[in-house]
Structure 1
Amino acid sequence: MSPRPALPSWATWWQRPFPDANTLLLHGRRPALVDSGFVGHAAETAAWAHAHAGDIDLVVNTHWHSDHVGGNAALQAGGAAVAAGVPEAEAIARRDPGCCAAEYLDQPVAPYTVDVPLADGQTLRLGDADWEVVSTPGHTPGHLALWQPEERLLVVGDALSAYDVGWVNLALDGPDAAATALASLRRMADLAPRVVLPSHGEIPADAGQVLADALRRAQRLVDDPDGAVWYGARRILAFALMIREGIPAGEVEPYLHRRAWLNDAARLLDRAPEDLAAELVKTMLGSGAVVLRGGRLHAAADHAPVTAASLRVPYPRAWPPPVPRRAGSARGPAAPEGTAGP
């Protein structure tokens, strides 16, 4: 097995099990964190960051799904600013009910604000190094990657990992979402990174090979839209089971019947929601992706436990209005080139 590529001394990588995304800490005069994990582990995220770097100046989100933004509120309360892609920043600012797809996916996110909107091609100072913002829509419309050209490091978010590519939402983002994700992967491959830093799983030993594999996987999603819908449904259900320490077996299908994402998937597949829910559970049990234990269905993949109390945060439609940051009230960084300050 090839050794993991070396990271520079100013970068600390924290590989985390589901339901958290991996976290990258960039040391320097203005420490920065890329992605902040799930809300159920927000205190752990903040404590880890403080122990390794002291006060965090900036949190950069690759995208707004719950496993990437869950520690934002806690870190923001400690003085950090938050940066995210322009489409997501604008929706967060207006408190759009669809923010983070939190209600749609039934994945809780604590209220936060975005202080620094990021657009494609901007240069962002993280720690003591300059990174380029690379727009990589597909998994979400506002998904972004971060490119450090001197070290040839590429933070890819959920666009790919050593074992898969990010699921796409054909219902919310349109029938071209898979093709958009494929185009983003091609753009990332063209950068020829030395190191690929994914949000889930280990750092791949061979960046070129993992990108080539991702391009083939993404092409399959383009070629098989029904398969893309099934792929997303399996990932969403597994996550729901992870963050709830399983769901009683008799309640899983009724739970699914109430989910907007399941009803959208049924529509795209021309199936009754009840039939799709039953088949989804049956096929995931058959594949071993979920297991029945103690009368509850559990996700089989390794994951960290989450307390029920930590899930009790409001949906974005009930978030309080964002509070403008007062000058000098936080340690947020200077705005990247081409943007207004927070």
Structure 2
Amino acid sequence: MSPQPAAPALPSWLTWWQRPFPDANTLLLPGQRPALVDTGFVGHADETAAWARAHAGTVDLVANTHWHSDHVGANALLQARGAAIAAGAPEAEAITRRDPGCCAAEYLDQPVAPYTVDLALDDGQILRLGDADWEVVRTPGHTPGHLALWQPEERLLVVGDALSDYDVGWVNLALDGLDAATTALASLKRIADLGPRVILPSHGPIPADPEAAFAVALRRAQRLVDDPDGAVWYGARRIFAFALMIRGGIPANEVEPYLTARTWLTDAARLLNMAPEALAAELVTTMLHSGSIVLRHGRLHAAAAHTSVERETLRVPYPRAWPAAEPR
């Protein structure tokens, strides 16, 4: 049996932290403008800040690939300590005006501590991170403001949730429209054409073969386009598993009322032409059957590897209750 290929070598001027769920992987770029790309989940904000401080001393800038809770969780803490926050323009504008839908936090029931955006990023913009220049590449699909970061000299590509070595980002057909999967596929094709030497994904390991990783991702993304119902189910499974991770599981007798109270589930039920109660029951049954969730001592848990979260860290307000953004 031939050995598995090794991941491509990383430049010495960056530090990569592969993290289990519920955190996204974190990229640290020390130098004249110490920067982080994505900051993990709010329940581990102290850990993220301590890691950055140990490796870089200070963080001047945080750049977010998008605004989901596993990517922006330490934004507020790092901003309080002096870091500026940069994000894709559509999401930056919504955060500035304190749109209740910010980060899809309330919609997904995924807590995010209040932060502001200091720098709105547009397609083609050059952003100094550490001691290197990176190009902003808009990659909408997983979210409307999703972006990638391209470092052409080293051919490094930060892809956020656009793809990983085993997956593609789920799409929200209810919130973002029935063409969201087509948009995500077009974004994938665009960044594949860059021909990166290294893909830096938000989840999982660095792919050993970027070309092969893109080939698989493109096939998976095409399936989401071809099968909208499948795309809805895919998103529902991912969101539910994340809910179990950040809550240390949910008692089995409380799962159905929890699910049917979630807007993401009622939206999915509408798209699938199902009653919310029927979707909730089928979601639990199919995920138990597949092994993606497990029942232990009367509680349902996500089966995927993940780090525990202290319950009190989840007690942050939904964006509708965030204080007004103050100019910086």
TM-score for both structures, normalised by structure 2: 0.99
Query: Does 1:194 pair with 2:201?
Result: no
Q: Does 1:75 align with 2:78?
A: yes
Q: How many percent of aligned residue pairs carry the same amino acid? A: 81
Alignment of 1:1-342 (within 5 A): 1-325=4-328
Give distance in 1, aligned partners of 2:86 and 2:57. Answer: 19
Shift of 1:29: 1.0
- CA offset at residue 320 of structure 1? 0.3
1:130-155 deviation per Cα after TM superposition (whole angstroms, max 9, x unaligned): 00000000000000000000000000
Listed one character per residue, the Cα deviations across residues 77-127 of structure 1 (whole Å, up to 9, x for unaligned) are: 110000000000000000000000000000000000000000000000000
Shift of 1:30: 1.0
Q: Counterparts of 2:248 and 2:8 in 1: how far apart (Å)?
A: 34
Listed as ranges, the gaps of 5+ residues in structure 1 are 326-342
Measured against aligned partners, the alpha-carbon deviations of 1:13-44 in whole angstroms (never above 9, x if no partner) come to 00000000000001111110000000000000
Q: Following the alignment from structure 1 to structure 2, what is the Cα–Cα distance between the partners of residues 4 and 220?
A: 27
TM-score by length of 1: 0.95
CA deviation after TM superposition for structure 1 residue 68, in Å: 0.1
Paired residue type of 1:91: A
- What is the rounded CA distance, in whole Å, between the counterparts of 1:253 and 1:284 in structure 2? 14
State the alpha-carbon separation in 1 of the partners of residues 297 and 156 from structure 2: 44
In 1, Cα distance between the equivalents of 2:238 and 2:308?
A: 18
Tell me how far apart the structure 1 counterparts of residues 232 and 305 of structure 2 sit (CA, whole Å).
Answer: 23
Runs of 4+ displaced beyond 4 Å: none
Matching residue's letter, 1:275? A
SS of the residue 2:255 aligns to: helix
1:324 Cα deviation from its structure 2 partner: 1.2
For residue 16 of structure 2, give the secondary structure of its aligned residue in structure 1. strand
CA distance in 2, matches of 1:268, 1:194: 39
Partner SS for 1:251:
helix
Distance in 2 separating the partners of 1:208 and 1:82:
32
Aligned residues: 325
